Structure 1
Amino acid sequence: MVMPESTTAATPQPTLEQPLLARLSIAMFAIVMGVGGLGNAWALAHAVFGAPLVISQLLLALALIVFALLAIAHLAKLGFHFKAVVAEFAHPVRSSFFPATSVAAIVLSIGTRVYSVELAQGLWWFGAVLHLLLAVTLIRRWITHAQDESVLTPAWFIPIVGNILVPVGGVPLGHVEISWFFFSVGLVFWLMFFSIVLHRVLFVPAMSVRSVPTLFILLAPPSIGLSAYLAFTGGFAGPLAHILYSLALFIAILLVTLLRHVSHGPFFMSWWAMTFPVDGWAGATLAYAHAQPSGYARAIAVFALASASLVVLLIAGRTAFYMASGKAFREE
């Protein structure tokens, strides 16, 4: 007697969704970078234009709270879902966001320095050491393993740009020699990777809709580089400052023309990649306007600060709805 085939075996089984903690993305530290970076920009606006200091304080407090919550959550993820962390770090795109943790710490170090030098020192050392480890690990991986150029995005700049940010927090804390080390590494690698990323954008099939907003990261290196240079010179705008300022301004103008293209499509958490570069540009233009006062420089600084504030506000609003729908924790 022939037995009928089991229908149970042929029925597709639903895929079990991972727990919420396992799905938590390391890229969420970009929220701290965006909110904290805007807080630092408003602190400079207070020094340059006399803007209300309370705006900076509120943004910084929010960034600290989010950083603490994310740090606790990711430590729990590391303990309970270690394989998920390993898989995320092995991903060719998501791995570039791991240094967002160290960059976020340095951003908070810059903002907290005027309130607590001890806290700023702790955050700076944590960020600098962690960033060095992550940068070496990721760059070593890129060198020793053949990379698929089609998955390359400007997010690869994060391990590089973080090096340039270190002096912005380190020089005022007295770590000048170490800051020169990070600045040198970041500046030279930025120039190399800029040509690689530009080649990918121009000659390789278009990036995914989710990755397109990372184009804003192109604005970060010259902007943060300008702030770092002014930190080294004590606010003196030499030839390199003028070059970095002009380059950042050109990239900002270019991004404005691409804004509709960049923001086209559904919302993803990757949109937060737009915030920190714009914050950095606002901070750099404010520092430049203070070092090289003119009506032209002040007008651009005001525009940059307003743009950064609007970008963070709009993306924060979209994020609130996105999280409420649960989609923020189901991104593939």
Structure 2
Amino acid sequence: MTKAPARARPKIFPPPEFPPRKLPMFARMPPAVFAVALGILGLSLALKRALAEAQLPQGLADLAMGLAVGLWLFCAVAYGIKIARRPVVVMEELRVLPGRAGLAAATVGALAVAAVLGFFLPGVARVVLTIGLVLQTVLAVLMIRALMTAPAEGRVVTPVWHLSFVGFIVGALAAVPLGWVTLASVILWATIPVAVGIWAISLWQLVQRIPPAPLRPLLAIHLAPASLFASVAGLLGMTVLAQGMLVLACAITLALLVTGRWITQGGFTPLWGAFTFPLAAFASALLINGWGVAGVLVTVFALGGVPVIAWRVLKMWPAGTLATKTNAATA
């Protein structure tokens, strides 16, 4: 009589451990959102000037300015919570290129907020401008420290350096309407040599080697300093300098347009946020310096592109995709 085969015992798996701990709110807030927040702030400033040029009601621009300031404030509070939880995340963010770009856009954004508030609350704008310049200085020092301790490949000059070391010029844009003309002049003449150095080194690097496709959108940042120099010089009455910088901005814009397919070859990434603020700054520069029709047309073009890019980047934030793609630090 054959013995019945023993029935295999069912495998008993241990009960699952506690579910993975959820990160605290804003613990991995990606600083990359500040790039598009800065772009929206710049767009609202350009829209304000474009509507004035077209002699149209300012209500839409005022609404856009309110929304732009609200977006930047929300991002600032979120990142402030992250820093309060673990302050060292700032240095960790500065180790990677998207983090550097995002934090630089954050402090430049504070200066852009001051420029927006200058239309409505000059007293508050002066306070915000002062705080923004302090934050920009602190970030520049931290950036230098991060570069000194980085490996050789991490010390390469990139367009992001404009945001970190030339971004003070946005403070000059805010300072002129507030009556701080001397401050604006000092910032203008102090930042021009820095920008020229970055342009020269970047051009030499571009001739030496082709940047990888995912990083090419950052080349658009080169447009911002020329546009801002033209705007500040125009507000200060330095006509020759303003027109010269505006011609340079037009040349950079033309180069970006001609190479647009090559620059965007890598497809959409969060680094496309680099397109937003330079385009808006170029529109404002045209309007400030009397190129009204061109300025209005560029503003209309920006209205069609900047919000789309901003939305595509911002919607990655709640799902955590943006933090992953930009290597955001965790608090």
- What letter matches 1:221 in structure 2? P
SS at match of 1:82: coil
Provide Cα deviations, 1:34-82, integer angstroms capped at 9, x if missing partner.
1111110111112222234122112211111112211111111112233
SS at match of 1:26: coil
Distance 1:19 1:265, change over 3 A: farther
Q: What stretches of structure 2 of length at least 5 have no aligned partner?
A: 1-19
Provide Cα deviations, 1:248-289, integer angstroms capped at 9, x if missing partner.
111111111222222333432221111000000000001112
Aligned: 1:43 with 2:44 = no
- Given candidates 74, 79, 88, the residue that maps to 2:84 is 79
Identity of aligned residues (%): 26
Provide Cα deviations, 1:288-330, integer angstroms capped at 9, x if missing partner.
12xxxxxxx3332122112221221221342355346542232
Match of 2:70 in 1: 65
Following superposition of structure 1 onto structure 2, how do residues 58-207 of structure 1 map, counting pairs within 5 Å?
A: 58-91=63-96, 94-139=99-144, 142=147, 147-148=152-153, 152-207=157-212
Distance 1:244 1:69, change over 3 A: same
Provide Cα deviations, 1:167-199, integer angstroms capped at 9, x if missing partner.
111122122222222212211100011111122
In the TM superposition, what is the alpha-carbon distance from 1:16 to its structure 2 partner?
9.2
Cα pair 1:32 1:104 within 8 Å, conserved: yes
Distance 1:80 1:140, change over 3 A: closer
Cα separation, 2, equivalents of 1:62 and 1:315 = 16
Cα pair 1:78 1:85 within 8 Å, conserved: yes
Distance 1:198 1:100, change over 3 A: same
Cα separation, 2, equivalents of 1:178 and 1:52 = 32
Aligned: 1:231 with 2:235 = yes
Aligned: 1:218 with 2:222 = yes
SS at match of 1:25: coil
Cα pair 1:167 1:231 within 8 Å, conserved: no
Provide Cα deviations, 1:87-135, integer angstroms capped at 9, x if missing partner.
1123355224322222111111111212111221121111112112222
- Given candidates 293, 299, 306, the residue that maps to 1:312 is 306
Distance 1:215 1:140, change over 3 A: same
Distance 1:139 1:323, change over 3 A: closer
Cα separation, 2, equivalents of 1:169 and 1:193 = 23
Distance 1:273 1:51, change over 3 A: farther
Q: Which has the higher contact order (CA 8 A, sep 6+)?
A: 2
Match of 1:255 in 2: 256
Match of 1:246 in 2: 247
Q: What stretches of structure 1 of length at least 5 have no aligned partner?
A: 1-14, 290-296
Cα pair 1:36 1:63 within 8 Å, conserved: yes
- What letter matches 1:265 in structure 2? G
Distance 1:16 1:152, change over 3 A: farther
- What letter matches 1:305 in structure 2? T
Q: What is the count of residue pairs matched by the alignment? A: 307
Which protein has the larger Cα radius of gyration, Structure 1 or Structure 2?
Answer: 2
Question: TM-score of the superposition, structure 1-length normalised?
Answer: 0.83
Distance 1:284 1:60, change over 3 A: same
Cα pair 2:37 2:310 within 8 Å, conserved: no
Cα pair 1:102 1:126 within 8 Å, conserved: no
Distance 1:199 1:251, change over 3 A: same
Match of 1:24 in 2: 29
- What letter matches 1:127 in structure 2? G
Cα separation, 1, equivalents of 2:89 and 2:144 = 22
CA-atom RMSD in angstroms = 2.5
Cα pair 2:221 2:275 within 8 Å, conserved: yes
Match of 2:316 in 1: 322
Cα separation, 2, equivalents of 1:251 and 1:86 = 32
SS at match of 1:98: helix
Distance 1:136 1:255, change over 3 A: same
Distance 1:144 1:187, change over 3 A: farther
Cα separation, 2, equivalents of 1:111 and 1:130 = 18
